[in-house]
Each structure stands twice: as C-alpha cells, then as structure tokens.
Structure 1
Amino acid sequence: YEDIYHRLTTRDANTFYTSGQWMTEKGGGSDVAGGTETVAVSIGRDMFKLYGYKWFSSATDADIALTLGRIADEEGNGTRGLTLFFLKIRDEATKRLNEIDMIRLKDKLGTRQVPTAELLLDGTIAHKMSEEGRGVAAIANMLQITRIHNAIGSAAYMRRIISIARDYAQRRKAFGKPISDYPIHMQTLARMDVEAKGAFMLAFENVRLLGKQEMGLTSDEENLDWKRSEDRELWSLLDFTGESGFNDYMIASGKYGIRARSAHPVGDDDYDYADIADDGSDCVY
C-alpha cells in the first residue's frame, strides 16, 4: 500500500489519487452493518471479488474507494461481521471500470460537484484492509478524520460570512448612514464573531488532541478530554451504523467492559449508567 499512500498524500497534481467511500446499501440507511448485503469471495492472497449493490456511493469519479462487505463462507453466504476493502475504480492500463456498473447518478442538493451514484459491484477486484468482521471499526477512523475536516470547513465558512457581512455593513446605508454605525447591527455581528472564534478554537483543539493521541503523546488529562470527545463520537456512530454496527465497533476496539453513560438523559440532571457486558448485551444506548 506504499504507492497508494504516496499518491493520497502527494502534492503532485499529476500523480495524486482521490478516494471515495461506498457503504450505504438499499436496506442500510443509518444501519450500515445490518443492511449491508455485499458479499466478498476470496481469490487468494487477501484479494476478493465483491458482489453487491451500493445505493449511495460518493466520489464515483475518484481513483480508489473504501467499501464494506461480508466475506463469503464455504456455502457462499456472507459472514455476520463486515470487513473493510480497498479497490481501484479503474484499471490503470485500460482505464476500464473494475467490474463496476454505474446504474444512475443521484440528483442531490449538496456537493453536486462530487458525483454520487448507485453502483453494481459484479466481481469487483478488491483488497482486504481490515481483520475479518472488523470493517466498521476500521472505517470509523476515516469517519473521525472526515468529521474534523467538516468542522474545519464549517468554521472557515463562518469566518468568511462574517467578513462579507462586515464589508457589507460599511457599504449599506440606512437613514443616511452606514449600518455599521448602528449599535444593534454591530452587536449582531459581534455575537456571530464570538461563535465563529469558538468554533475555530474547538475544531483545532480536536486537531491538536488527535495528533498527540495518534503519536501517543497525550497526558492523562488530555486523554480524558479526548475520551469525552470520543464518547460523543460513539453515540454519533450508533446513530450512523445502527445497533449491530455499534456492537461490531465496540467489540473490535476492545471497548466492552467499560462503564457507559446513556446518550439520553432520564431527567434534567439524571443519566442512566450500566456496565457493558463482554457481548454488549447490557450496553445502554
């Protein structure tokens, strides 16, 4: 994977790769783990052929993609847990699609410049990237990074909007003078500015903690801060993958046996607590 890593991180426009992630299937929605029917048939040396229908596949014009599937057992049925796979979308020599049928493009509201489509994987060659059955845990790292990217982008747009509003306040006149001369208008801009600065500081504090945590340099206090942030991510993961996907992640990451707080308060200051059993049966959601 060294060549792939180099292409994903290079600044050379002639050699860099872009990547998509294909998880959602017709029966999936938020419950990715419960609704994934894609089956992976082994062809040796961690190589597989994927067969399935991806309902909402992002960046279909990318060079590579990450996707989830169930490794077929001896009878050809998919296993219970999901596994993470990496695939090249086109053959580098022929430029033909890697046994992928583009069924139709989605007509969506956001990020229209990034094509999203329904795809049929009909023998698509892919490499296994995670341990068998631990695909949700592996792809959760990507979700964490993309959420940080989204947070930074949101904070940047907030700053941009305030800059435009300040400039407009100098040019727009009402009752004979610029609206920047009116305290009530400037108070509104000031409140927006505080929120934008807070969003910036929160986003980059998470970036700082993530970097230190990945390098094993966090202090006990910083680990606690990151744990609080991770707990919020886990509840988001539950919403995203459903109960079965959440269980797969918790088992794979060794987080069963911890004490968890319910995401839903019983009263104003009252939270349910429960010990999570090794099999997740007592986990409080």
Structure 2
Amino acid sequence: MMNDGKKMEPSSSNTGFFQPLPTLANQWLDDVSLQRVSRVFLPPSILSSVSPGLRKFGEEVLDQQIFDWVTDAERNLPYLRGNGRDAFGRPLKSTGSELVTTEGWRKLQECGFRNGVIATGYDTGLGEYARVVQFLRLHLWEASCANTTCPGAMQDGAARLLQLHLTSPGLLNPLDTVQRRVFQNAFDHLTSRDPTEGWTSGQWMTERTGGSDVSLTETIATFDPCPPPDSTPLADTEEGIPLGPWSISGFKWFSSATDSQMAILLARTAPDKGVSAFYAPMRKGTRGGKGGELNGVIIQRLKNKLGTQSLPTAELELKNMRGWLIGEEGKGIQEIATVLNITRVHSAVASMGYLGRGLGIAKAYALVREVGVGRGRRARLCEHPLHMRTLANITVEYHGLMLLTFFTLSILGVDEHPQGGATEGNKGALGVPKERVGPLLRVLSSLHKAYVCETAIPLVYGCMQALGGVGYLLNSESEQMNVARLFRDACVLAIWEGTTDVLASDTLRALKKKESLEAVDWFVKHSLSGAAGKLSKEMGDGAEKVSSEWGALRTRLKTEKAETLLPEARQLVFRIAEILITSLYLIDMGSNPGREIEAMCLRYMVKRGLVGQGVSSGVETEGLEMDAAIVYGSTQTTFMKQGGSKL
C-alpha cells in the first residue's frame, strides 16, 4: 500500500516509534510549591545560605547511581539468613537470627547520613529554622531513598527524646553519671553525618494485642542490675558502654527498623503501673553497636507487605534484652509522644515527597508526550487543555498540603527552640506567640498527619494515571519515572504512626482542651485579619465564610461532649485542616503575590465550597495559560513558545 508516495513499514521490536524518556528537572529549581513554602517559612538570610546545598542535593538525588541503588534495594529484598538456623536446624548462636540487606539499601542509608537528612534538624546554627531546612532536604530525598527514611524517622524521634533528657534539668528522674554517658553516646551516633558512626533506631510499640493501643502491652521489664558477666559490654574498650540494668522480654509484632543499632520501646514494669519507655542497644560486643551478637533479640520473621518492600519489617521476640529506663516508670506514653511528634511529620513529608516527585514525573512526561486532538492533529500533553487542568488541580491540592505540612514543621522548630522566641513578625512561626506554640503543636501533630497522608494517596494516583498505562508499570529499568512504586509506598503512610481515624480521635481530644482550641482560634483570626483589605471580592467573601464556618466549629467543640463529636471526628478534623490551609494560602498570597497563587487560592476555595457558584464558573473557564502557570510556574512556561500551540 502507498500513502502520499511513501511506503508503509511495519514497526518491530527495534524500529518504529519510541516515546522519548522524560527528563526530570532538579526539584529544588522546578517545584513551584517547594520554592513558595521555603519563602513563606524561612527568612531571606537563612534561605540564601541553604539554597546552594539544597540545589546540589536536588541534583544528587536524581543521579543514576542513586536510582541503581533504589532498583537494587527493591529487587533484592532483605531476608533472614537460614531463617535464623543452620543446616541442621540449630539456632545461629553466633549472631542470632541474622538479617541480610542489599548493598543498595546500605548505600542509600550512607548517602542519607552524609547529607545530614537527620543531623540538619539538630544544627544549632539554624536555630528554630532547623526543622524547616531539614525537611526541605528530606522532601527532595524521599522518592529516591527506597524507604531508608523510615528508620531515619525513628532515628530522629529517638534523638529528640534523648536530647530532652540530656538537656532538661527539671526532670523528676534526673540522669545519673553512667546513664548520661549512655544517652549522650547514643545521641551522638544518632545525629552523626559519618556513615561509619551513624545509627538508626527502632520504635517498638506494636504488639499482637493492638496497634496504636498500647494499653495491653505484654512486654515485661524487670530491674536486674547484675546480669551475667558475658552480657555486660556493648562496645569495645574505646566506648565501653554498658547494656543497661533492665531485662526486657516480650514479643513485638511490627518493627520497621530491624537493621537499626538501637530501639526505643515500651514495656510494663508492674501490674499496677502503666507502660514505661526504654532505650535498648540492638547489639553487644562491638564498636558503635554494629555487627556482633544481638542483644536478646530474635528476629522471628519478616513481614510481606504491599509496599515499602525494601524496608526490613519484622516480628521480634525479646529474651532478656538489656536496656535503660527513660523517665519515670509508668510514664512511657508521655515519653513516646515525643517520638511520635517527629515520626508523624516524617510521614507527612514522605507523602509530600512522593507527591512532589510524582508531579515532577507527570510534568516532564507532558513535555514530551504527543496525543491526537482530532482531525489528524497532534499536540503535547502540556498543550492539552484537559490534561493541564487535571495537573493544575493536583498542583493546587499539593500546595495546600505543603503549606499545612511546613506550617507544622515551623511550629515544631519554634517549640524546640523557645529561646529563639516566637514573637509577632517572627517569620518562622508566622507570628504565633510563645504561649500558643505548644498548644497549637498539640493539635497540628495529629491533624496534619491525618489529613496530609490520607489526601495525598489519590493525588499520587492521579500522577500515575497522567502517564497512562506506562504509569502503572514498575519501571525499574527507568527508575526515575517509577511513579507506580511511589504510589504503592505512599499507601502505608496513612496507616502507620496512627491511622487516620486514630489521629482524628486524638485531634478531637486535643481540641477539647481550652488552650489548644484558643491557639487554633488565634491563628485563624490572625491570618484572616492580616489578609483583610488585600483580597478580591470573591476571595474576601471566601475569607468571611472561613471565619463564619470556623466560628460554628469552635462553638461545637466548646459546647458538645467528646463522645457526641467522635463519630464525626474525621469530617470535623478534615474541615478544620481545610480552614487552616485556606488561611495559609492567604498568608502565602500576602508574602509572595502573583497571578498564579491567586488563581490557586481561588480554586482551592471553590472546591471547598468557600465561594459562590458564580465564581466557580469563572474558575472553570480559565484557560491553558493559567493552568500552565500553576503547574510549571509563570517563569517556567517557555515550553508554550516552543513551536506554539498545536491546538
């Protein structure tokens, strides 16, 4: 057959059309939302000082070597050597049940240590901004680290808990000389940037009796300061750190840092006391807790999970594990809350890291993928009005979630550095007064994780769908565009560290406290009053509706009993999150004005029913140029001029 004088040729495995691979851009330069939140929550002096390092790290996380390590960690999953027994069925006594991890996993952990993804949070030179800077770095790293940030999250939480006990003179249970040396040694390892010295940590709470409910903990701790001589040393003579005077035995149903060098765990010391918190080294007899015999730990089996498959998650039996009591007996839940405050923001930032990378992949794909648009015409997806409207809507949601997440991080940073002050005009805390910081964090800690991790899942799915069928494939041969892996791993973030319902219930309890409710009330009113007189009529009407709706919610929270509100806790908490996000959008508009941020804010308010139907129709008729500005940024839309639109 002939067509316009040209002979038709069939395609083959090596000839015919091949879709060009999308090229991922450095997210620090390309992600409009990441740029905006850094300007909202960091003063110019801090931002200018950290930007070169973030730009460099943004390049490093996209290096082919990093993706090769990710593929290795995903293909060669962790396993127990011999299932913990030798060829004749005897337990492997020399090292216990030995966990084997892949080189890719270990190399990615080392990369995280070198780049200070945890240590940055303890950089005293950054003060109250250390957490924001740390999590900007983590945001870039999440999608390239093959889940090594999960043990990193617990490493961070453990470091913060030990730091509090090392630096708080008013504790009821002050540290003696030996325990102070033990805690300081662990803290130094947890915050090290040296991969040969750095530790991760486990966080062992979950037992067969319940997930987030630890009230029926069956792990028992007994004070036994005279253990057998061969179980005393933890390290060589250079460190000489004793294992601890408590003997801990029990069964932990879920451990997501099985290769860690230490753990923070819960155990019961007496029938009439609540659970207590303990620090326990993972191994004994070697320097830095690496290698050597396990400290009374038997790895029963590894879990087989939908996602996070590169992450070694195990069931652990503890038999005479030696450890140290943290704080008072029976006060373990209060101690572990410090760890949870940290691990929950890690979960939210991981969700945002996956979503940000997913959007980056979808944006890059839209620049190179052509589709038919009728009558023999073709156009790139970035020139297709429906596709760009879809990506623009995802971007609007993403930016709202980023604002809520980094607001929480900002408040966390100020809470950890009260000496820096949280005064009016303080950029790090958006002007939140000192006395409001703690109560506001009590609400945000649960609220932001519940809302962000749940809401992000369908948005990551939308990024996967933006690639069509190829998005559903586990593209390990082109790991940089493996958005299916990101979606699979994102699903767990709404489950661990407290499911959405558990966290909604916890947020409701926090909001029933007068000081917490007043802190949220202050912030909503503060943000709305700051925006007054600067908004268009439509957004001004929306701001008034926010004020009215928040007033009604506040009244319900003050007057109705918790048990009456509990069935609605998820809806109430989600609506409060949307009110906070709208308030943060208005703050962002005021500090970084621009046509696209106004459009993003208006679209968010329309979707949440905060402005009328007349405005809805106006938003829906906004054209391709505005959608492109939202997705790619007003200064990054030069692709529109590359040959012009083909529609």
Q: TM-score range by the shorter chain?
A: 0.7 to 0.9
- Describe the superposition over 1:121-169 as per-residue Cα deviations: whole angstroms up to 9, x where unpaired: 1111011112111111111111111111122222222221111111111
Residue 27 of structure 1 aligns with which residue? 209
Residue 366 of structure 2 aligns with which residue? 169
State whether residues 344 and 446 of structure 2, in contact with CA within 8 Å, keep that contact through their aligned partners in structure 1. no
> 2 CA distance for matches of 1:162 and 1:208?
24
- Measured after TM superposition, the shift of residue 283 of structure 1 is 12
2:300 to 91, 103, 106: 103
Q: CA, structure 1 residues 158+144, in 2 after alignment: closer, same or farther (shift >3 Å)?
A: same
Q: CA, structure 1 residues 86+240, in 2 after alignment: closer, same or farther (shift >3 Å)?
A: farther
- Structure 1 residue runs of 5 or longer lacking an equivalent are 73-77, 262-267, 277-281
Residue 189 of structure 2 aligns with which residue? 7
- Measured after TM superposition, the shift of residue 62 of structure 1 is 0.7
Q: Which has the higher strand share?
A: 1
Residue 82 of structure 1 aligns with which residue? 275
Q: How does 1:142-157 map to 2 (within 5 A)?
A: 142-157=339-354
Residue 137 of structure 1 aligns with which residue? 334
Matched, 1:64 2:268: no
- Measured after TM superposition, the shift of residue 182 of structure 1 is 1.7
> 2 CA distance for matches of 1:226 and 1:181?
47
Q: Which amino acid aligns with 1:84?
A: A
> 1 CA distance for matches of 2:218 and 2:502?
17
2:443 to 213, 221, 231: 231
> 2 CA distance for matches of 1:172 and 1:148?
35
- Measured after TM superposition, the shift of residue 100 of structure 1 is 1.5
Q: CA, structure 1 residues 200+222, in 2 after alignment: closer, same or farther (shift >3 Å)?
A: farther
> 1 CA distance for matches of 2:565 and 2:384?
52
SS in structure 2 at match of 1:120: strand
- Describe the superposition over 1:70-97 as per-residue Cα deviations: whole angstroms up to 9, x where unpaired: 114xxxxx34311100111111337111
State whether residues 70 and 79 of structure 1, in contact with CA within 8 Å, keep that contact through their aligned partners in structure 2. no
Identity of aligned residues (%): 34
Q: How does 1:199-278 map to 2 (within 5 A)?
A: 199-216=401-418, 217-219=421-423, 221=433, 223-224=435-436, 227-231=439-443, 233=445, 240=502, 258-259=513-514, 270-271=556-557, 273=559
146-155 or 14-23: which moved more? 146-155
1:40 to 210, 221, 233: 221
> 1 CA distance for matches of 2:444 and 2:417?
22
Q: Which amino acid aligns with 1:3?
A: N
Matched, 1:181 2:383: yes
State whether residues 213 and 223 of structure 1, in contact with CA within 8 Å, keep that contact through their aligned partners in structure 2. no
Residue 264 of structure 1 aligns with which residue? none
> 2 CA distance for matches of 1:121 and 1:184?
56
Structure with higher Rg: it is 2
- Measured after TM superposition, the shift of residue 258 of structure 1 is 4.5
> 1 CA distance for matches of 2:197 and 2:564?
46
State whether residues 411 and 441 of structure 2, in contact with CA within 8 Å, keep that contact through their aligned partners in structure 1. no
- Measured after TM superposition, the shift of residue 272 of structure 1 is 6.2
Q: Which amino acid aligns with 2:245?
A: M
State whether residues 345 and 445 of structure 2, in contact with CA within 8 Å, keep that contact through their aligned partners in structure 1. no
- Describe the superposition over 1:193-246 as per-residue Cα deviations: whole angstroms up to 9, x where unpaired: 2222222222222111111112222345465365344235468779659x9xx8
Q: Which has the higher helix share?
A: 2
- Describe the superposition over 1:165-188 as per-residue Cα deviations: whole angstroms up to 9, x where unpaired: 111112221221112212221111
Residue 284 of structure 2 aligns with which residue? 91
SS in structure 1 at match of 2:323: strand
TM-score, length of structure 1 as denominator length: 0.78
Q: Which amino acid aligns with 2:198?
A: F
TM-score, length of structure 2 as denominator length: 0.36
> 1 CA distance for matches of 2:417 and 2:440?
19
> 1 CA distance for matches of 2:189 and 2:328?
24
Q: CA, structure 1 residues 137+51, in 2 after alignment: closer, same or farther (shift >3 Å)?
A: same
> 2 CA distance for matches of 1:88 and 1:200?
36
> 2 CA distance for matches of 1:202 and 1:25?
32
Residue 394 of structure 2 aligns with which residue? 192
> 1 CA distance for matches of 2:276 and 2:398?
39
> 2 CA distance for matches of 1:233 and 1:191?
26
- Describe the superposition over 1:29-60 as per-residue Cα deviations: whole angstroms up to 9, x where unpaired: 23112x20111100239721011111112211
> 2 CA distance for matches of 1:117 and 1:80?
28
State whether residues 209 and 218 of structure 1, in contact with CA within 8 Å, keep that contact through their aligned partners in structure 2. no
Residue 265 of structure 1 aligns with which residue? none
138-147 or 213-222: which moved more? 213-222
Residue 69 of structure 2 aligns with which residue? none
> 1 CA distance for matches of 2:361 and 2:199?
34
SS in structure 1 at match of 2:204: strand
SS in structure 2 at match of 1:24: coil
Q: CA, structure 1 residues 79+215, in 2 after alignment: closer, same or farther (shift >3 Å)?
A: same
Q: CA, structure 1 residues 11+141, in 2 after alignment: closer, same or farther (shift >3 Å)?
A: same
148-157 or 5-14: which moved more? 148-157
Root mean square deviation of aligned Cα: 3.2
State whether residues 366 and 380 of structure 2, in contact with CA within 8 Å, keep that contact through their aligned partners in structure 1. yes
1:125 to 322, 337, 348: 322
- Measured after TM superposition, the shift of residue 67 of structure 1 is 0.5
State whether residues 415 and 437 of structure 2, in contact with CA within 8 Å, keep that contact through their aligned partners in structure 1. no
State whether residues 91 and 97 of structure 1, in contact with CA within 8 Å, keep that contact through their aligned partners in structure 2. yes
> 2 CA distance for matches of 1:223 and 1:115?
41
> 1 CA distance for matches of 2:355 and 2:298?
39
